Structure 1
Amino acid sequence: MIQDARIVAGFTGAGISTESGIPDFRSPDSPWMRNKPIPFELFLQSPKARREAWRRKFNLDDLYRGARPSAGHRGFASLVSSGRMPGVITQNIDGLHQASGLAEDQVIELHGNGTYAKCLSCGRRHELDWVRYHFDRTGDPPECAACGGILKSATISFGQAMPEEPMRRAQRLAAICDLFLVAGSSLMVFPAAAFPAFAKENGARLVIVNREPTPLDEAADLAIHGEIGEVFSKFIA
C-alpha cells in the first residue's frame, strides 16, 4: 500500500517512543502521572507553580536522558528520505524524530518540543542545560536572557493554545496526501486526532499501526495491532 502512494503523511504518538523507553502518559504508574504538567494559567500566575513545573520537568528529563530513536523512528526517517513522505506529524515532545535524522522542518510538532525552552514574551529559544544550571544554583528558573520574560519548556501545556503554524502545516499535509500512516497513537487526544479522519474524508487511504485498538480502526483501510518497531523496521534504509 505504501509503495503505491504518491504522498504519504506520517503521524506518530506516544507508542512509537515507548520502544525507546519513554512510557506512555497513560501507562500504569507512569512517571508522567507522578510529575503531572502544571496547567498553563497557573504557570503564568504563580512563581511557585513555575518552580514546581521545572522541578517536575527535570525529574522526567533525568529518567529519559538515555532515550534513543526506535526502529519505528528510523523507519519513518527512511520513508522521508525516500521522498515519498514530506514530513511527520507528531504528538510527541521528545525530539526523537529529529534524533533519527529528520530535519526540523520535516517534523510537525503539534504539542511542542520538550528538549529546549522558549520565552513566553519574545519567543527566544534557550537551551535546557543553561536553564538547569541556574535552577540548580538558585532554586528558581532564570528569566529570558533577551527580554526578562518567563521561560517555559517549549511544549504545549494544558490550557495553552495549540500552535497555529504546525496545525496549518498538518492540515495541508493531511489534505494533499493519498495515504495517511498512523503509528503509536490512541487517536483519543484532540484536536491532533482529527487529522487522520480529515485525511480519510479527503480521499486518502488510512493505515493505523498501534498495540491497542483505536476509535478509527473501523474506518481504516488497514489496522495492525502489534509492535511498531517490528512493522517499520522493514522500511529502514
Structure 2
Amino acid sequence: MDAIQRGLVLKVQSERMTGTYSLKGTMRALASARKCAYQNYQYVSSAPQQPSEYAHEVDKTPLFQVATQMITAVEAVDFRYLSDDEIKEMGFQDGVFWFSENLDILGGTMNLNAPDGNLRETDPSDISFMNSLCSGDFASKTRAVDTAEVDQRELHGYCIEGDRRLEMIALKTRFGTRVLYNILLFGPNSTQETTEREEVTGNIALHAARFVNSE
C-alpha cells in the first residue's frame, strides 16, 4: 500500500494486455477514502433507500470500482456521490456519478445496452444528448481510441454560454452486448489544462479497457 501511495507510475502486464497508469494524487485519494471509512463505518441510514427502477438491470458494484478509478485519475479528494434521483434528473440511468466542487468536475460511469451495429453509429445520438445539456454555442468532435482488442470511442463536446466555458468528454467501450460509458464534465471553474485533461482521459481509457477485458 505504501508503494502505491508514494509511487508515480504503476505498470501492469498480463497475457491479455499491458497498461501503464499514473498514480498522481493516489496518496491524497487513499487518505481521503480512509478518513471517510473511519467516520462512517458505523453509519446506518434512518430509512431504507428505495431501490432504483434500474436496479434490477445492473449491478452497480463494478461501476463504483470504475468511478473510484476516475476519481483517482482527476485527483479529487472532496468528491461526493450523487443520489439516484440526482442522476435521473440529469437524464442518465444505470450509473454511478460523483461531483468535486473544488475541481468543478462532474464524473460518472454507466453500463448500457450495446447497439446492433458498430459503436460509431451511436455517436450522433450521444453528441445530440451532449448538445441538449448546453444552452449556448456547441461544438463537438469524435474519434476512435487505439486500444488493443477493445472497441472504444472518445467524444468531446464544447459548450460556450456567455462567459462560461464547459467541456464534456464521453469515453465509451464495448464489451459483448453492453457498453461502458465514462463521462467527465469540466465546469467553468475547472483549472485543469488541456494536456492534463488528455492525460486523465488516456488513463481512464486504459482502466476501461482493463475493466471490459476482465468481464
Which TM-score tier does this pair reach, normalised by the shorter chain? under 0.3
Bigger share in helix: 1
TM-score by length of 1: 0.24
Higher Cα radius of gyration? 1
